Amino acid sequence: MEILQNSEIVKSMSLDSALLIYGVTGAVVATRHSVKNGRIEPGHVVDAEEIHELFNEALKGVKKHGTEINFVPKNLLAIGKERIIWRCPGKKRPIFFKAINKKLNKISGKSFSFPDLVFRVSAGRLYVYAAKRKDRAIEAKKLSLYHAPFYNIYDDGNVCLPHNITHPGCNIDDIPDWEKLFFESNFSHAGGGTKLCFTGGHDAFWLNYSKKNSKSFPDSVLKPMRKTLSTIVKNGEKY
């Protein structure tokens, strides 16, 4: 079986079979049916192996006829309708403050080692969480999430973004623009409770951290959300 987008090739084809999807909340069943004279014949339930085989054949057709396909970056964790989730490995980068605490403003622009971050764009909103370096090899859906240790982020991970700019879209190509928007913003205000396990909270941590020359972020100060990435995805905007 070949699934193609080349219009000339498609015109020469006839409908061969159909997949029907039956579902209830939390579960779906697929059946495959032959099509004769435009009529869908009785079918059979398809298992995971047959589904895998069907899509492998489709991919062969795409490659054979030069149809465009998109490669996904290795840091992509999940993608769906109006939703994309990816991981941004921690590295040294500048942080910008425009806060009430003048001491924070004095270290604005200084570079720090950031923790691993998980970005989620959903329905035009940006959510940011932290993850521990030791968990980089863990299956995405089992990844434990922590509060991102920054201002401008609410308790559910939702980021307070400027309203006077056009936000990026929800495609793989938009990932760099979302990261640029977040990392180059001024962190100005708290968004709910403290996001760190550190005496004195957010301000005390960053002021103390500015006196060090750490090669990596101290993951021990990350505050657990007690949720996994799978939980966040299933519950939508809840946390």
- Domain identity same for 48 and 161: no
Inter-residue contact 78 to 23 (CB < 8 Å): no
CB atoms near residue 101 (< 10 Å): 13
Q: Is there a domain that residue 95 lies in?
A: yes
Domain count along the chain = 2
Q: Is there a domain that residue 71 lies in?
A: no
- Domain identity same for 170 and 204: yes
Query: Which residues form the domain of 229?
Result: 76-234
Q: Is there a domain that residue 214 lies in?
A: yes
Give 107 or 73, the one with higher predicted confidence. Answer: 107
CB atoms near residue 210 (< 10 Å): 15
- Domain identity same for 92 and 51: no
Tell me the three state secondary structure of residue 214: coil
Q: How confident is the model at residue 234 (pLDDT cuts 50, 70, 90)?
A: confident
Q: Is there a domain that residue 158 lies in?
A: yes
Question: Is pLDDT of 193 > 50?
Answer: yes
Q: Is there a domain that residue 2 lies in?
A: no
Q: Which amino acid is at 41?
A: E
Q: How confident is the model at residue 186 (pLDDT cuts 50, 70, 90)?
A: very high
Mean pLDDT over residues 93-101, rounded? 96
Question: Is pLDDT of 107 > 50?
Answer: yes
Give 129 or 47, the one with higher predicted confidence. Answer: 129
Inter-residue contact 171 to 140 (CB < 8 Å): no
For 167, counting Cβ atoms within 10 Å of its Cβ (0-12 exposed, 13-18 middle, 19+ buried), the class is middle
- Domain identity same for 215 and 142: yes
- Domain identity same for 87 and 38: no
- Domain identity same for 87 and 203: yes
Instruction: Provide the token pair at 155.
Output: 């308790």
pLDDT at 159: 96
Domain boundary among 33, 64, 95: 64
